[in-house]
A and B are shown apart, each in its own frame.
Chain A
Amino acid sequence: MDLTESYREELRLIRKPWTGAGISLVVLALLVIPWLKMDYLVYMATVVFIYAIGVQGQNILIGYTGQISFGQAGFLAIGAYTFGHASASGIPLPLGLFAAGVMAGIFGLIVGFPSLRLKGPYLAIATMGFGIAVYQILLNSEVISGGRMGLTVKKLPALFGLTQQVTFYYFTLLLALIFTLISYNTISSYAGRAFIAIRDNDIAAEAMGVNLARYKLLSFGMSSFYLGVQGALFSLLIGFLEPNLFTFMESVTIFVAVIIGGLASIGGSIMGAAFVILVPQLFGGLRELVPVIFGVAILVILIFEPHGIAGRWLKIRLYFRNWPFR
């Protein structure tokens, strides 16, 4: 029985010793992965970490605040190109990453304004328009997109005697852990409760004293900041940017990751990111059947587990909680 006796206890991230042990084991395993000398595993894990950041941000917006958005590709592009130009101008990497997040966050605030008036499908269309507009601007503005040959981004150098790939792995792992911690803390804070209240009933939330404008915009700004950082990290991963990397399909991929992972679940966001990255890659040998498998897997999960992979994981944990005494 989870009996919470104080507010301090409610805010604790890890409440049970075995939860702490489990998380420690997972982090330890992630730290050890590069020592297995399996470059492919390291690469795939790196991509999952990068996506996990943006998907968490979107879950804060869609899952916790209930604001449907399809403008993800636009924010990713803004973050990626901000970082690309910052890098080309010789701005240090941490500052460039921060600038990427801030720039995307500012645009998130701007796009968030319609959310004060629009809901559901109307908001989805407005944000989708933003994503498409960013793509079109990039296509037609060679100054921003780097021109005909695209924009080359200098990759993270090898550090501490590690290879470039392993250095980047640890870098993205560290950032993914930091953003996960921020997400959990945000959700446990007043802001997180305000997000949830807005999602459940915005009129009631306002009646209870939640400033709708402030918290809706905060949710948009925060989620866009996450996406901006994801875009920057993605540009560091592939070392090259062109507008076609940020089509509407990218928005759909991140949206699917949120839904499949589980709405309103930070852990689910990470699992959702892993799903959208790993499923097409693992079934790559089946060629033209890949989209079919991907689509059917989404359908099956949504039919049998509407709460996503996180919901199934919770049920498994509950099942084994008192095992074998049931």
Chain B
Amino acid sequence: MKGSRIWILAVCLLLAPAYGVAQGVPGVTDTEVTIGITNPLSGPAALWGTTGVGAKAWADYINDKGGVHGRKINVILRDDGYNPSRALANLTEMKGNVFAVAALLGTAIVNTTKDFFAENKVPLITAYGDIRIWEKYPKDKLRWVFVSYPDYADEAEFLTGYAVKNLGAKKISVFYQNDDYGKMGLEGVKLAISKLPGGASLGVTIPYDVTERALATHAQKLKEGGADVLLLYTSPSHGPLILKEMAKFDYRPKVLATFTLGDPIMYKLAGADVWEGVYPATPANSGIPGDPAADKVIEILKKYDPKIVGKEYLALFGAVSMMYTVEGLKNAGRNLTPEAMINGMEMIKNWKPEGLGAPVTFGPDRRHGVNGSRLSRAEKGTHVPISDYVIYKPRF
């Protein structure tokens, strides 16, 4: 009898800490706050997983500076292989163990997992995917989401307008990825042309599929279109490919490219002779290597994770997500709860993370922190900004 009592006592003692955790805030202890990230670290989009690596490197840097309100940031970085069901699996695994999720990546993944955050009261700090997903999202659920990502159509409208007004474009062709990303770009170009009557005409619009690699016929069609300006809404691998094919046919129009091609690594992928003189957009929510503020951050990131070398642009993108998270944590104070974090994020007003990008503002009725971009020009191995940030209307 005495023995069984001891057993009961032992079981109660074992359960006590678990009960204590259940009563607390998931992912928060006195000394640590846990942030979850699911990214494509393997598979076809593995390169984009550098965003998560960059975010983790920045968290390590913050930890070495003492953390936030005495808490170190513990990052759980999981691989989803760019597969929506695996991303949802990762988030389900993180449930109860993470305080917030950062740097969600991929339109399909964002679309699949969007309900997770409100349902489980986990703040989502930045998501890289089609922002129109959130535009008609119910307000009560949107409360848990904070996004700073340019709208593809808004950006395309800006690029088209710039081409007409500043580059004297007469005929604009579009080469785009045959999915929602590319089609949104095309939509923006058409809208801009319709708003600029007599300014320029639409040339040929040539789509490609993600799996395609032989783009010679596409290049030939673009040449036959005879446009003096070409807009690219492609992946970072297809943009250089089409330009190389066009060069073989000696077709060299002025080229403007979406911000996903804003990484100076394009010089390596396309070759200097092809990429020199291209006008890539860069997003207002991050910086570009070569910019002093960006270079300062990149040096820190490379120190904490040398694997970032060569992928600085994406690492910087991800690090900015962690900067948002850190700012939210700072504003939330020591008494950390999901509600406090939401308030902390809503306190962000006209703030530039480490001087990068354009100012960001969140609020009770605003979850699209900044919607904007600026144009740069590929010159001597770098992308040199040639316009100020153009800020579009926040969409939610």
Contacts and interface: CB of A to CB of B under 8 A. Distances in A.
A binds B: yes
Interface of A: 39-40, 43-44, 47, 136, 139-140, 148-150, 152, 165, 234, 237-240, 242-245, 247-248, 280-281, 284-285, 287-291
B183 A140 contact: no
Contacts of B111: 149-150, 152, 240, 242
Nearest to B181: A148
Interface in B89-113: 89-90, 92-93, 95-96, 107-108, 111-112
5 contacts: A149-B130, A150-B111, A244-B108, A284-B79, A290-B41
Nearest to A287: B41
Given A238-B84, A238-B85, A242-B180, 20 more contacts: A40-B89, A40-B93, A43-B88, A43-B92, A140-B178, A149-B111, A149-B133, A150-B108, A240-B84, A242-B107, A244-B210, A248-B211, A280-B42, A280-B81, A284-B79, A284-B86, A287-B41, A290-B41, A290-B42, A291-B42
B41 A148 contact: no
B291 interface: no
A158 to B, nearest CB: 11
B267 to A, nearest CB: 24
Contacts of B184: 148
A269 B108 CA distance: 28
B49 interface: yes
Nearest to A51: B85
B81 A290 contact: yes
A70 to B, nearest CB: 15
B147 to A, nearest CB: 16
B377 interface: no
B211 A39 contact: no
B16 interface: no
Contacts of A240: 84, 108, 111-112
A270 B148 CA distance: 43
B115 interface: yes
Nearest to B184: A148
Contacts of A136: 209
A291 B88 CA distance: 19
A284 B85 contact: no
Contacts of B383: none
B41 A242 contact: no
Contacts of B42: 280, 287-291
Nearest to A283: B79
Contact of B89 (A234, A281, A291): A281
Contact of B180 (A39, A149, A152, A291): A149
B367 interface: no
A80 B179 CA distance: 18
Contacts of A242: 107-108, 111, 179-180
A285 B78 CA distance: 6
Given A136-B209, A240-B108, A290-B42, A39 B78 contact: no
Contacts of B179: 139, 242-244
Contacts of B95: 39-40
A47 B108 contact: no
